[in-house]
Amino acid sequence: MRIGELAAQAGMTRDTIRFYEKVGLVEGRRLANGYRDFPPETVAWLHYVRTAQALGFSLAEIARHGEELRGAPDTADALSALFEEKIQVIDARMAELATLRAELATRVGAGCPLRPS
């Protein structure tokens, strides 16, 4: 399928698909006339990419884990393991942010808030 049809079915722009191709998330072959041709399963993969992004995964994480997920015999188990890892990263970041917030709160109204405490 050509890039315009893929963009319409995936609900994204051609530029987004070109970018994803540039960073290696999707691969299309070039036809003799220079047009890109993508396999039909690319639509489902692009939906997966968008969902993973909405769940907080970076494009680098998606690219890194994409191949292993495609080849996993039980993708649900593989995804659950990735989700658990991501939850741990989020929990650690939330703890860091809580510490940062507490530090900022102690500096409110303390004269020069940029002096070391």
For 68, 76, 78, 79, 86, the CA distances from 73, given in Å and listed in that order, are 10, 9, 9, 11, 21
- Structure confidence by residue, pLDDT tens digits, 82-115: 899 999 999 999 999 999 999 989 888 877 767 7
- Structure confidence by residue, pLDDT tens digits, 50-70: 998 999 999 998 988 887 777
The answer on pLDDT for 81 being more than 90 is no
What one-character DSSP code corresponds to residue 29? E
The better pLDDT of the pair 17, 76 is held by 17
- Structure confidence by residue, pLDDT tens digits, 7-43: 999 999 999 999 999 998 999 999 999 888 999 999 9
pLDDT of 73 reads: 62
pLDDT of 69 reads: 72
pLDDT of 79 reads: 84
Residue 91 burial class via C-beta count within 10 angstroms: exposed 0-12, middle 13-18, buried 19 and up: exposed
End-to-end CA distance of the chain: 61
Position 72 confidence tier, pLDDT thresholds 50, 70, 90: low
Enumerate residues 6+ apart whose C-beta is below 8 A from 14: 3, 4, 7
Return d(Cα 85, Cα 28) in angstroms, integer: 31
